[in-house]
Amino acid sequence: MQWRHRRESLRAILAGSLCVRPASVYDAISARIAEDLGFEMGMFGGSTASLAVLGDPDLVLITLTELAEQVRRMSRAGALPVLVDADHGYGNALNVRRTVQELEAAGAAGLTIEDTLLPQAYGAAGPQLISIEEGIGKMKAALDARCDPGLVIMGRTGTRGGGPAAAALNDAIARAKAYEAAGVDALFFTGLKTRAELQAIASATTLPIALGNTEGELADMDFLASQRVRIAHQGHAPFAAATQAVYDTLKALRDGVAPKDLKGLPSRDLTARLTREDDVNARAAATLGLKT
């Protein structure tokens, strides 16, 4: 398979004994930067996808076609294994099938399919979850849709849904056990805040775990590893930093700063390296007879 190596790399992380922090990536250049810096994997979040493609907040306004095309661009740019936030699969279980097919073909190393009711229901005070039965159907559809058995399918849920914290945690555990029984490769949790919550989930399940929040009590990587957490996400700071840098640069230019006096610009060598300029020039010389 064209994407086999990156999927094998992600599976090796899940099968290992260490917990890694993925790079938050959102386009070809950010994926190349992460790969060059030695990150084991990348994470393409739904929120950054919406920001990078549409400039909109994370309200599930991005389409599957737009998401898949952005994944394809990142896959083409390098060999970094990227775990893609596929949200709710863009609809029901049949839509999940289409989502998996498109993202698999685009080169994703793995996907997360969540059981959040999306888009948010009219009049709802906060995020809601679909029934466990519908969630199981989505997981089964995702597993059945993949052509490459190396593609990682993660069942994603959270301790949301309202009510007492204990009830929410119990619901998350019940969903995780159901998705594990359905055959997913790993479990992704959002909303966990304490060690006790993670320990309860780890005790009730057997699959590798990925976490969307690893602050406070969940910042200790050794502890996370001991609880089978193999992927510990730490937000999308790179996109936020890039936004601030673009804003500052454009403001400086608008205020009359000369381009030569701008601060924080990449060196010529860094730009050449990230754009793979030497490789492009070599191909141009070999196929077009161009001299560099």
Q: Where are the domains of the chain?
A: 17-241
Domain 17-241: CATH superfamily is Phosphoenolpyruvate-binding domains (3.20.20.60)
Model confidence over 229-270: pLDDT tens digits?
A: 999 999 999 999 999 999 999 999 999 999 999 999 999 999
Q: Tell me the two tokens of residue 179.
A: 């998705």
Give me the mean pLDDT over the 4-24 stretch.
Answer: 98
> Among residues of the chain, what percentage have pLDDT more than 70?
98
Instruction: Please report the pLDDT score of residue 2 as a whole number.
Output: 76
Q: How many CA atoms lie within 13 A of 29 on its CB side?
A: 12
Instruction: Please report the pLDDT score of residue 1 as a whole number.
Output: 55
Mean of all residue pLDDT scores within the chain: 95
Model confidence over 181-231: pLDDT tens digits?
A: 999 999 999 999 999 999 999 999 999 999 998 999 999 999 999 999 999
CA dihedral angle for residue 33, residue 153, residue 214, residue 196, rounded to 10 degrees: -160
Angstrom distance (rounded) from CA 233 to CA 67: 20
Angstrom distance (rounded) from CA 140 to CA 118: 19
Give me the mean pLDDT over the 145-158 stretch.
Answer: 96
For residue 134, pLDDT beyond 80: yes
Using 50, 70 and 90 to split pLDDT, how confident is the model at 161? very low
Angstrom distance (rounded) from CA 151 to CA 130: 25
Amino acid in the structure at residue 149: P
